[in-house]
Amino acid sequence: MPAQPVPTRVAEHCSQLSRDDKRWLHYALRTGLSGTSPIVADFEATVGRHYEIDHVIAVSSGAAAVTVALCAIAAPRSSEIVVSPTCPICTVLPMLERGLVPVFCDVRKDSFGLCPETLERLISPQTRAIFEVPMWGYPIPLDDTRRIANRHGVPLVLDLAHAHQTQLRGRYLAAYADIACFSTHEGKYISTGEGGFVTTASATLASRARAYTRYGDMDGTSVGINLKLGGLQAALGVARFPLLNEQREKRLENRATLLKRLDNAQLRELPVAQGGVPSGYALLLQTIGHDGRNLVRYQVQGGVPSDIAKYDNRPLYEYELLAPYRRECPNSAALLRSLTTVPIHHEIDAATLSWISAVLNNYQPGAQD
Ligand SMILES: *Cc1c(COP(=O)(O)O)cnc(C)c1O
């Protein structure tokens, strides 16, 4: 028998095809493709059952989900939204687009969750929302943020584009939000090509969110545009949502295998928030005592893609557009500088996992320069 070839690279993303894609696409073709057709309602019901949440509004992208959340909480122009500078610029651009002011709040040490003392200090009479954005599927502590949000009567919005399936104390993170935003873009945990949805337990927020996606219900009493998800995308969502639990198991198995084999004193996994379970969107590794960009460069050259390369390991206020909102956030800067992501999706096989662990174990800071 010929020897198995040794892998030399790994795909960053997996195919998300489902055996049921065609069946549901055909169903959509027969029953209607618009954002108000039955397949979209089916998709919303599927998501609602999965997350055990009353209201789901399917929208055309993750950016649409953030926009709809901002409209549902009725944040007027020039009001403030507290958010960490560790999130992707995609979360903050819809705020700028609506004339809102992002107020950058530092995170806790070695966590993507907001630092409660800093958050408390940054809340002002102009604050209309607190955004938490857990990255790469890692849970964050939410009790302090929830308590502060309640005390000040400010809604807590979670952008869960990275955190489908992430749990805290046995519940999906969406349960901790007043309103939660998701993306189903091709590169995310579940793909409908382009797409997204918002979830909420509040009937009031749900009806405002839904109205905004369809021209304010066209009754001329409120502003809205068209941000509905189309029927073909919804069909893919219906076909693919049932695969999520099984894929999560496989992703978490891959994470466990890599962590068991990881034998390099320069690296560790980002600490997981107490009571939380990551979704396995990616493995987050943290360099100890040196610049993580060394590791990012090393692994990318070695054929193991890092999603963080896209984000350039820097806080958002370093970008030109966001420089006017600069507030120094030392924990955020240090966290981003220390991290890399490693793919652990469900299509990675045992041979590839062994190879990835060998690549990581051979890493020495400085050696590749
Ligand atoms: C990808 C992403 C978005 C934007 O989603 P799109 O579907 O690409 O518009 C928003 N927020 C976060 C945290 C994301 O990762």
Report in angstroms the alpha-carbon separations of 213 from 32, 155, 244: 18, 20, 26
d(CA 256, ligand 1 centre) in Å = 27
pLDDT of residue 12: 85
Calpha distance 229→33 (Å, rounded): 9
- Contact yes or no for 198/69 (Cβ under 8 A): yes
Say how far apart CA 70 and CA 57 lie, in whole Å. Answer: 14
Task: Pick the residue whose CA is nearest to atom 15 on ligand 1.
Answer: 161
Q: CB under 8 Å to 148, separation ≥6 — which residues?
A: 116, 119, 120, 123, 130
Q: Is 195 left (phi over 0), alpha (psi -120 to 50) or beta?
A: left
pLDDT at position 369 = 46
Residue 92: which residues within 8 A CB-CB, separation 6 or more? Answer: 83, 102, 316, 322
Residue whose Cα lies nearest atom 5 of ligand 1: it is 62
Is the CB of residue 218 less than 8 Å from the CB of residue 212? Answer: no
- Closest by alpha carbon to 155, among 78, 70, 62, 65? 70
Under DSSP, the state recorded for 317 is G
Which of 67, 90, 96 to mutate for ligand 1's pocket (most ligand atoms within 8 Å of CB)? Answer: 90
Q: Please name the residues in contact with 361: beta carbons below 8 A apart, sequence gap of 6 or more.
A: 261, 262, 263, 264
Residue 91 Cα to ligand 1 middle (Å): 7
Read off the amino acid at residue 6. Answer: V
Question: Is any atom of ligand 1 closer than 6 Å to the C-beta of 80?
Answer: no
What's the angle, vertex CA 134, arms to CA 293 and CA 276, rounded to 5? 110
Rounded to 5 degrees, φ, ψ at 182 are -135, 150
Each residue's pLDDT tens digit in the chain (369 positions)?
566 677 878 888 888 999 999 999 999 999 999 999 999 999 999 999 999 999 999 999 999 999 999 999 999 999 999 999 999 999 999 999 999 999 999 999 999 999 999 999 999 999 999 999 999 999 999 999 999 999 999 999 999 999 999 999 999 999 999 999 999 999 999 999 999 999 999 999 999 999 999 999 999 999 999 999 999 999 999 999 999 999 999 999 999 999 999 999 999 999 999 999 999 999 999 999 899 999 999 999 999 999 987 777 899 999 999 999 999 999 999 999 999 999 999 999 999 999 999 999 999 987 654
Q: Cα–Cα–Cα angle for 214, 218, 222, nearest 5°?
A: 85
Task: Indicate whether residue 196 lines ligand 1 (CB < 6 A).
Answer: yes
Residues shown for the chain: 369
- The Cα–Cα gap between 225 and 277 comes to 37
Q: Is the CB of 316 under 6 A from ligand 1?
A: no
User: Is the Cβ atom of 94 under 6 angstroms away from ligand 1?
Assistant: no
Question: Phi then psi for 181, rounded to 5 degrees?
Answer: -115, 140
